Amino acid sequence: MHVPDGFFNAATSVSAGVVAAAGVAVCLRGARRELDDRTAPMAGLVAAFIFAVQMLNFPVAAGTSGHLLGGALAAILVGPYTGVLCMTVVLLVQGVFFADGGLTALGVNVTIMGIVTVLAGWGVFRLVTALARGKVVVAAFLAALISVPASALVFTLLFWIGGTAPIEVGTVAVAMGGVHLLIGIGEALITAVTVGAVLAVRPDLVYGARGLAKPLELRGAGGTTTTVAGREPVTERRPLKPFLLGGVGLTLVLAGVVSFFASSSPDGLEAVAENKGFLDQAADHLFGGWALADYGEVGGIPVGVAGVLGVGLVLLIAGAVAFAARGRHRTADTGRTTDETRV
Reported confidence tier of residue 218, pLDDT bands at 50, 70, 90: low
* Mean per-residue pLDDT, 286-310: 96
Is 293 inside a domain boundary? yes
Q: What is the pLDDT of residue 123?
A: 98
Domain with 33 in it: 10-213+234-338
Position 330 in a domain: yes
Which whole-number Å values give the CA distances from 325 to 36, 241, 267, 268, 322, in the listed order? 9, 21, 34, 34, 5
User: What pLDDT is stored for residue 331 in this prediction?
Assistant: 38
CATH assignment of the domain containing 265: 1.10.1760.20
Q: What is the DSSP letter of 8?
A: B
The C-alpha atoms of residue 139 and residue 136 are separated, in whole angstroms, by 5
Total domains in the chain come to 1
pLDDT confidence of residue 37: 87
- Average pLDDT for 118-137: 95
Backbone phi, psi, residue 330, to 5°: -90, 135
Confidence of residue 235 (pLDDT cuts 50, 70, 90): very low
> What confidence category does residue 232 fall into, taking pLDDT thresholds of 50, 70 and 90?
very low
Provide the pLDDT for residue 274.
95
Say what percent of the chain tops pLDDT 90: 83
Q: Are 51 and 254 in contact (CB under 8 A)?
A: no
- Is 138 inside a domain boundary? yes
Q: Report yes or no on 244 lying in a domain.
A: yes
Residue 61: the pLDDT is 83
Instruction: Say yes or no to pLDDT of 342 above 90.
Output: no
**Residue 217 predicted with pLDDT over 70:** no
Residue spans of alpha helices (H) in 6-115: 10-30, 40-54, 71-78, 80-97, 106-109
Give the pLDDT confidence score for residue 328 in this predicted structure: 59
- Average pLDDT rounded to a whole number, residues 196-214: 89
21 or 231, which is more confident?
Answer: 21
Residue 251 confidence (pLDDT) = 98
Asked if the structure places residue 18 within a domain, the reply is yes
Higher pLDDT pick, 226 / 307: 307
- The structure's pTM equals 0.90
Residues comprising the chain, all counted: 343
Residue 343 lies in a domain: no
Which residue, among 75, 90, 61, 74, has the nearest Cα to 185 in the 3D structure? 61
- Give a yes or no: residue 93 inside a domain: yes
Judge whether residue 333 has pLDDT over 50.
no
Residue 341 has pLDDT above 90, yes or no: no
What is the structure's pLDDT at 220? 57
**Is residue 131 in a domain?**
yes
Band of residue 335 on the pLDDT scale cut at 50, 70, 90: very low
Average pLDDT over residues 336-340: 43
What's the pLDDT score for residue 95?
97
As a whole number of angstroms, the distance between CA 187 and CA 72 comes to 9
pLDDT of residue 221: 56
Pick the closest to residue 186 from 49, 57, 76 (CA basis). 57
Model pLDDT for residues 7-43, shown as the tens digit of each residue: 999 999 999 999 999 999 999 999 999 999 889 999 9
* Predicted local distance difference test score (pLDDT) of residue 90: 98
